[in-house]
Structure 1
Amino acid sequence: MESNQNNNLDELLSDLKSQYNASNTTEKSQNNDKIEDLLNEVKSQLKPNNISAKAKNNQVTSNNPQVNEYLDSLKAQYRNQQSHQQAQKDLIYNRNQQEIIVQEQQKQLKHKQLIRQAEKWLANLDPTSDEGMWFNQLAESYPSKLDAAISYLSTLDQSGF
């Protein structure tokens, strides 16, 4: 008996669920249809206003030669300003490039002078003097005596001796 009651309850529950789902689906469908109708109505109201505003704007500018002249003048001013700014950028870039070239040339000139100074210093260096013996030990850690002399003299120059 109890299983029979359970079956009846299950059937009742199943029927209630199916009725609820059917009515819920119908309500959702009706709501979606109403929303879609309202959306279409709003869209249709907006389209003519948009078109008429654009048409009015075009009509005003095309019928007024003073407005056209003013707009052309503004465009020309803008183009002139842009070309002036570009010319300034180009000028600054060129100046920077020239400064870099000058600095590099000065660096090369200073290096050449340092080489001549090192060659002269080496020619005058007495290898048997204390300074000469010290320098010979220093020069062992360099590829050449000239490189050692350049390094030594540039260090002296930088330290102010």
Structure 2
Amino acid sequence: MINNPQEESNIDDLINQIKHQKSNQKRQSMDKSNHQPNSMDNLLEQFKSDLKQQKEKSQEYKVSQNQPEINENLHDFKQQFQQRNLDRRQPEVNENLHQFKQQLQQKQKEKSQEHNLGRNKPEINENLHQFKQQFQQKQEEQKETITHQNQEEIRYTEQRKQRQQKLLIRQAEQWLKSLDEYSDEGLWFEEFSHSYPSRLDAAIEYLAVLNASS
């Protein structure tokens, strides 16, 4: 069978047309897929969001399961932290405790003294009264002793003066007996004695001055 050239040409055109249609369909299909990028992005975003939610739920579940252990760890950590602070401040704490103890002991001592003082106040008052009486009595005795001593000293002084006066009188009498009335000393004494009640008084005064200057 001999092919007709016209028929072959028609067949080729038909084949080319079919190819062209397929090519157009394929291109349209590709264009359609290229014009819908948002759908793919949305799917990816949705997937990421779901994955994140699942991860968060998983973490929350793990936290809720481990909450007792977490609380225990936090409690241990807090105790360790407090212990470290206490160890670091132990010298200061000891010093403060020592001062507080001393203050407390001092207050207790003062209260005890006040209590004893109040309890023994009648006895203390009686002792003070007795001490005051004894002191006053001793003062009176000392005054009497001093007065007696002064009286004795005055009496002794007076006696000594009397003895000296008697001795001076005898010396004056002897001096007057031995005085030459016409000597220079005798003439001077005669004028000197005019201002005294007697020659003896003048002689006593004159000899007293001589004895004091010698």
Q: Shorter-chain TM-score category?
A: 0.5 to 0.7
TM-score by length of 1: 0.54
Aligned length: 97
Structure 2 residue runs of 5 or longer lacking an equivalent are: 1-117
Q: How far is the alpha carbon of 1:115 from its aligned partner?
A: 0.6
Q: Given the alignment of the two structures, is residue 158 of structure 1 paired with residue 206 of structure 2, yes or no? A: no
CA distance in 2, matches of 1:73, 1:127: 80
Q: Which residue of 2 aligns with 1:85?
A: 139
AA in 2 matched with 1:91: T
Residue 170 of structure 2 is matched in structure 1 by: 116
SS in 2 for 1:127: coil
Does residue 107 (structure 1) correspond to residue 140 (structure 2)? The answer is no
TM, length-normalised to structure 2: 0.41
Shift of 1:105: 1.4
Root-mean-square deviation over aligned CA pairs: 1.9
Percent identity at matched positions? 46
Query: One-letter code of the match for 1:157?
Result: N
Structure number, greater radius of gyration: 2
SS in 2 for 1:73: helix
Q: Deviations over 1:74-94 (max 9, x none)?
A: 221221121112211221122
1:71, 1:151 → 2: CA distance? 65
What is the alpha-carbon distance in structure 2 between the residues aligned to residue 94 and residue 82 of structure 1? Answer: 18
Distance in 2 between the 1:81 and 1:94 partners?
20
Change (3 A) 1:141 1:69: closer
Q: Is 1:129 aligned to residue 183 of structure 2?
A: yes
The alignment partner of 1:85 has SS state of: helix
> Which residue identity is paired with 2:197?
P
Question: 2:127 is matched with which residue?
Answer: 73
Q: Matched residues in 2 for 1:101 and 1:93: separation?
A: 12
Residue of structure 2 aligned with 1:98, choices 149, 152, 157: 152
**Matches of 2:193 and 2:160 in 1, distance apart?**
27
